[in-house]
Amino acid sequence: MLSQLCVLWLLHRYCTIEDVGWFFLGLAIASPVIRFSSLGLMQVQGTDAAEHFTFGHYLGVRLLTDITAVAAIAIIAASINIGRHAFLVVSLIGLMKAAEQISNVIQGLFYRIEQMKFAAYSRMLHGMVTVIFLGSVIAMTRSVSLGVLAATIGYLGIVIFYDLRISGRYADIRPHFEWKMLWGLGRKAFPLAIVAGLNSLNANLTRYVLVGFLGAAAVGIFGTMAYMVVGLNEFCIAMSHSAMPRLAKYHYQADVRRFTRVLGILILTAIAAAISATLGTVLFGHWFLELFKHELAEYSNVFIIVVGGGSLMFLGGILGDVLVSCQRFTLRAVATTIGVVISLVAAIVMVSRWGIAGAAWASLTSNTIFVLILGIMLWRIVAQLRYASAAKERGTNSNGST
């Protein structure tokens, strides 16, 4: 959380609001491609209780998809005619995110073997590198592209000198390119690729609509407020990912009591974090925005709505991770597709009428509906699990009586 705030402050301190807008637009263009190419491998690996694939298979797929994703981002940036400077920013952000995704798949190994501390240390290192490399270079050069390039180098350093070194204690870290196994892994994970790409697209749809109606400066203002919720996202991601292997095991064993207990803890913790963040924004949002730029404080009321919508989105992410723990990849993809359609319609209608405030209301509305959809799906899964648990218990009692 602190690293994101430091970078935001440096961006607003040393760059124009338009430059900040291009930075967030670059993230909006690159992130869906990177997330789609990630194939949700960290989640698949973390819930692979039967260990159908080795770590080398996951790493091999990740390297291949990263190369493809970086090339695709460069092609997209070149085709939409956003100018040379913006093209460079978008392409470098794609490279930076690709380097980050290599760490992501290694963290999946840490989650699977329940060595959460190593995943946490890796995330901490990424936060430090973001501030030291990206932030300091922006402060010295006032160049977003050079800052992103420095962060990319830092992320690769984390992969080489920390992630791979630690993971080598627990697995063979050489990438495996057995094409039959890679194809099987890719086919299994493809529904999650759709989910990951659509989730990122869903989070960035309002930025596409904003730049079309109001320009890069509006993206800079809205993107700054939305980015401040990323700290809550990191907390929710760490919490849900650490619980996924246990949820997967309890679902596989039809242990409904333990499954629902972990699920309840996740939901209640996410709700408590969302309420705390929203109340904090109500009380201190105006003062907080003034720390970055005076004109941002004019949107303090909008900021409350943005935080509320972002909190719901992360609650939806937790519910979606629970579906993934149950290996319901296709169901997760269907829910996300519906969510994207709702977000697009809401963004076009509301941004065209109310501008930046409309973007915030669109986020809140679409995320509320998305959480309800996921909640209904999860309720049905729990009902099925209760039935399977009861059948298992009847079978055990029957065998005991004979």
Structure confidence by residue, pLDDT tens digits, 331-384 = 887 888 888 899 999 999 999 999 999 999 999 999 999 999 999 999 988 888
pLDDT-based confidence at residue 293 (cuts at 50, 70, 90): confident
Please compute the mean of the pLDDT values over residues 197-206 and round it to a whole number.
Answer: 84
Higher pLDDT, 51 or 209: 209
Task: Give residue 41's pLDDT.
Answer: 81
Rounded Cα distance, 305 and 103, in Å? 33
- Asked if pLDDT for residue 228 goes beyond 80, the answer is no
Please compute the mean of the pLDDT values over residues 69-94 and round it to a whole number.
Answer: 87
Rounded Cα distance, 323 and 321, in Å? 5
Task: Give residue 72's pLDDT.
Answer: 93
Higher pLDDT, 294 or 122: 122
Tell the residue number behind the tokens 């596989």, with chain if given: 252
Task: Give residue 202's pLDDT.
Answer: 81
Task: Give residue 244's pLDDT.
Answer: 81
Higher pLDDT, 63 or 181: 63
Task: Give residue 372's pLDDT.
Answer: 93
Rounded Cα distance, 45 and 299, in Å? 42
Task: Give residue 402's pLDDT.
Answer: 52
293 Rama class: left (phi>0) / alpha (psi -120 to 50) / beta: beta
Pick from 99-108, 317-326, 346-355 the range whose average pLDDT is largest. Answer: 346-355
Task: Give residue 360's pLDDT.
Answer: 94
Please compute the mean of the pLDDT values over residues 251-279 and round it to a whole number.
Answer: 88
Please compute the mean of the pLDDT values over residues 393-398 and round it to a whole number.
Answer: 64
The mean pLDDT value of the chain amounts to: 85
Helices (H), 228-299: 230-252, 256-290
For 324, residues 6+ apart whose C-beta sits below 8 A from its C-beta are 40, 43, 44, 47, 192, 195, 244, 332
Task: Give residue 254's pLDDT.
Answer: 83
Claim: this prediction has a pTM higher than 0.85 = no
